């Protein structure tokens, strides 16, 4: 976490820095050669940050490569439910479930060189080709779409269009938005750097939702 000291007459508190990197690991263990973020470790950390009297804000650094949808949504809901000021900063990329994680914060930032990859929910491994399987995927996608549109400025129609674009990804449907494109679409609040995110949290320090 970053210790923020007194500057002049203004007393500053402590910003906790939470990194969510690589694939989001849920209930199933990914191979050890894949960098993972274990959501069962992150959830109690977020709760502890919310309860700590010494911590005034939370900064989430994101560079995700997809992962478990249920785990990602659980983390996103925890962040969105905090009273303390929160800011997210996308560095490198926000892939798949990284999108709701980015928009869950009070204010979302994206580095100029970063990108957001938006594509429909997919599952790997053995798939039962029954109507119930496709209905389950559709309902899961609806949950993600509802969360993203509720916590960002993008419209449902625009988000669904980006999910369904067949011209951008070679072997899949979906879209890749660079930093400014993500902002223009209403998905991310602003292009910015670490200094911008910290400045926002410094100014918000001590506030509650």
Residues designated as active site: 96, 119
Tell me the angle at which helices 156-164 and 131-150 cross, rounded to the nearest 10 degrees: 130
* C-alpha–C-alpha distance, residues 22 and 6, integer Å: 35
What pairs with residue 190 in β-bridges?
A: 109
φ, ψ dihedrals at 100, nearest 5°: -65, -30
The bridge status of strand 175-178 relative to strand 86-90 is unpaired
Helix runs in the chain, H state only: 39-51, 69-80, 98-103, 131-150, 156-164, 179-184, 194-204
Structure tokens at 147: 């969360």
Q: H helices then E strands: how many in the chain?
A: 7, 10
CA angle centred on 35, ends 18 and 167, rounded to 5°: 95
User: Phi/psi class of residue 137: alpha, beta or left (left: φ > 0; alpha: ψ in -120 to 50)?
Assistant: alpha
């Amino acid at each position: 976490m970053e210790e923020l000291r007194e500057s002049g007459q203004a007393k500053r508190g402590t910003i906790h820095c939470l990194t969510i990197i690589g694939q989001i690991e849920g209930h199933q263990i990914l191979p050890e050669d894949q960098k993972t973020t274990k959501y069962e470790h992150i959830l109690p950390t977020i709760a502890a940050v919310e309860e700590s009297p010494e911590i005034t804000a939370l900064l989430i650094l994101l560079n995700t490569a997809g992962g478990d949808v249920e785990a990602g949504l659980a983390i996103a809901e925890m962040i969105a439910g905090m009273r303390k000021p929160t800011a997210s900063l996308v560095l490198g990329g926000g892939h798949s479930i990284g999108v709701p994680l980015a928009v869950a914060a009070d204010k979302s930032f994206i580095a100029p060189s970063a990108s957001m990859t938006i594509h429909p929910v997919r599952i790997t491994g053995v798939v039962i080709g029954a109507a119930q399987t496709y209905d389950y995927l559709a309902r899961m996608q609806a949950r993600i779409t509802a969360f993203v549109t509720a916590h960002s400025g993008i419209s449902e129609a625009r988000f669904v269009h980006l999910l369904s674009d067949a011209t951008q990804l070679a072997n899949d449907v979906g879209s890749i938005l660079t930093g400014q494109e993500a902002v223009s679409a209403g998905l991310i609040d602003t292009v910015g750097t670490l200094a911008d995110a910290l400045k926002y949290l410094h100014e918000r320090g001590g506030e509650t939702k």
